[in-house]
C-alpha cells in the first residue's frame, strides 16, 4: 500500500481540507481527512505537506522527446514513455506525422505487441495520426511526398482496438467526410487540422463527426470577420474541443486569452506538440525526414517553419495561468478531465476519486513537478518527500 499524507488535493476541483489518499496496486482505494484513518504499518508513506496532489497529465499530441522521434523510430515510444513523468505526464498519445502507411503499421505493432516486461512510466493510450490526409497548402513541417487523398481502404484497421485513438485530417478534402464518419463510428477521435477549410466546410466536418481541432491557429487560415474559417467554426461550436500550444510562440498570449474566453476549460486541451528536442539541449534534431534547428525557445525547419515545440506539459499549465489568470483547478482540467473525456476514459483517468487508476502528480507551490505516480508506482521523484513512519 502507498499512502499520500496531508495533501492539498485537486480533483481537479480543490478539496477544502488536507487529506490522506490510499493506493493499493494501481488503484486509488480511499480518500480521507488527514489523520482520520491510520495507515497499515507496512504502508509506504509520502509526506505531501506543502504540495498539491493533482491528477496525472494527459498529452494528446507528442511527436517525441529525449532525442527520439516517434515517426522516424516508432520503437522509441517505450523509452520516451518511461521518462515523461518528469513533466507530470502519466498518459499520452504518441503522434505519428505524415509518413508512409508502413510507418503507421509499425507504430501500431510497437504499441500492441512490443510492450516491455514490467513497464513503468506514462501510458501510451493509442496513436495520434497527424496525416496523411492533410491540405498540401498547410503542410507545415510534414513531408508533402507522403500526403494522400482520402481512401477508405487505407483506414480499414484504424481503431482504438488497433492502437489508433486520434486522427487529424483536413475536412475540405474530397471524400474525407466519409472517412470522418467511419472513424467516429469506430470510436476514434477525429480532428480538423492542417487545413484551408472554410467556415461551412468546417461545419460539415463537425456534422460528420469531427470533435477536435489540432493546434488551433496553426496550419489553418487566420480568423477574419467575413470568413471565420476553421478557427471561427471551432471557437463557435460548443461540442468541439481545441488543442492549444501555449508556449508564447505558436500562439500569442493575447490569443490564448481570447480562446479561453470563448471555450473555457471544457473546450480547451493543452498539448505540448513536443518533438525530439524536448528534455534536451539546443541543437539539431529529427522530425521524420527533416532536420530541425532547435534554440532555447523553439524548433524550426531551415526555412523558419515551426516544427513542433519544446514545451513540457507542466510548463503549458503554468503558462495558461499566466496568460489568462485562470485558477489552477481550471488549468488542470485542460490536461486531465478534458482529454480523458475526449477519449472516453473518465471512468479510468483524468480526475482523482476512489476506484480510478492512481495516476497522480505532486506539485510544488510554484507548480513544478515534485513527484509523479503512474498506475500506483512512483515514476519520478524530485524531492526528499518520501518517508516511512
Catalytic site residues?
A: 273
Instruction: Kindly state the DSSP code that residue 95 receives in the 8-state scheme.
Output: E
Find out whether 311 and 215 touch, Cβ atoms under 8 Å.
no
CA distances from 384 to 52, 172, 335 (A): 15, 53, 26
- Other Cβ atoms closer than 10 A to 373: 26
Q: What string of DSSP letters covers 8-70?
A: EEBSSSBPSS-EEEEEETTEEEEEEETTSSPPPTT-EEEE-TT-EEEEPEEEEEE-EETTEET
Eight-state DSSP code of residue 334 = T
**Spatial separation of the C-alpha atoms in residues 332 and 321, rounded to whole Å:** 10
**Could you write out the three-class secondary structure of 253-286?**
HHHHHHHHHHHCCCCEEECCCECCCCCCCCEEEE
Contact residues for 356 (Cβ-Cβ < 8 A; gap 6+): 27, 28, 347, 348, 349
Tell me how crowded residue 372 is: count the other CB atoms within 10 A of its CB: 28
Residue 363: its H or E element: strand 360-363
HSE-up of residue 137 (Cα within 13 Å, Cβ side): 7
Amino acid at each position: 500500500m502507498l499512502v499520500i499524507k496531508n495533501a492539498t488535493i485537486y480533483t481537479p476541483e480543490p478539496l477544502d481540507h488536507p487529506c490522506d489518499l490510499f493506493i493499493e496496486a494501481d488503484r486509488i482505494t480511499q480518500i480521507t481527512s488527514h489523520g482520520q484513518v491510520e495507515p497499515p504499518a507496512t504502508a509506504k508513506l509520502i509526506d505531501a505537506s506543502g504540495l498539491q496532489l493533482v491528477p496525472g497529465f494527459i498529452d494528446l499530441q507528442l511527436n517525441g522527446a529525449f532525442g527520439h522521434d516517434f515517426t522516424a523510430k516508432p520503437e522509441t515510444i517505450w523509452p520516451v514513455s518511461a521518462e515523461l513523468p518528469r513533466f507530470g505526464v502519466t498518459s499520452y498519445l504518441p503522434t505519428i506525422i505524415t509518413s508512409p502507411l508502413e510507418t503507421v503499421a509499425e507504430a501500431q505493432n510497437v504499441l500492441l505487441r512490443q510492450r516491455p516486461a514490467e513497464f513503468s512510466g506514462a501510458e501510451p493510450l493509442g496513436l495520434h495520426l497527424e496525416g496523411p490526409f492533410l491540405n498540401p497548402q498547410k503542410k507545415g513541417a510534414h513531408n508533402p511526398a507522403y500526403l494522400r487523398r482520402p481512401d477508405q481502404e487505407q483506414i480499414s484497421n484504424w481503431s482504438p482496438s488497433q492502437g489508433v485513438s486520434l486522427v487529424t485530417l483536413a475536412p475540405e478534402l474530397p471524400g474525407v467526410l466519409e472517412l470522418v464518419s467511419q472513424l467516429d463510428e469506430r470510436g476514434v477521435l477525429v480532428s480538423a487540422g492542417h487545413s484551408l477549410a472554410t467556415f461551412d466546410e468546417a461545419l460539415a466536418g463537425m456534422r460528420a463527426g469531427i470533435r477536435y481541432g489540432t493546434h488551433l491557429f496553426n496550419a489553418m487560415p487566420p480568423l477574419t470577420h467575413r470568413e471565420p474559417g476553421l478557427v471561427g467554426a471551432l471557437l463557435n461550436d460548443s461540442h468541439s474541443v481545441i488543442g492549444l500550444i501555449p508556449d508564447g510562440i505558436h500562439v500569442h498570449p493575447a490569443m490564448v486569452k481570447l480562446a479561453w474566453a470563448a471555450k473555457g476549460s471544457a473546450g480547451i486541451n493543452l498539448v505540448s506538440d513536443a518533438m525530439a528536442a524536448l528534455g534536451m539541449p539546443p541543437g539539431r534534431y529529427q522530425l521524420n525526414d527533416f532536420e530541425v534547428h532547435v534554440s532555447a525557445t523553439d524548433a524550426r525547419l531551415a526555412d523558419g517553419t515551426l516544427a513542433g515545440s519544446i514545451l513540457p506539459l507542466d510548463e503549458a499549465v503554468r503558462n495558461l495561468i499566466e496568460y489568462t489568470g485562470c485558477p489552477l483547478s481550471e488549468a488542470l482540467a485542460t490536461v486531465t478531465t478534458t482529454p480523458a473525456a475526449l477519449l472516453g476514459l473518465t471512468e479510468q483517468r483524468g480526475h482523482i476519486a476512489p476506484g480510478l487508476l492512481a495516476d497522480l502528480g505532486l506539485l510544488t507551490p510554484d507548480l513544478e513537478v515534485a513527484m509523479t505516480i503512474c498506475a500506483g508506482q512512483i515514476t519520478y521523484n524530485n524531492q526528499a518527500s518520501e518517508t516511512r513512519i
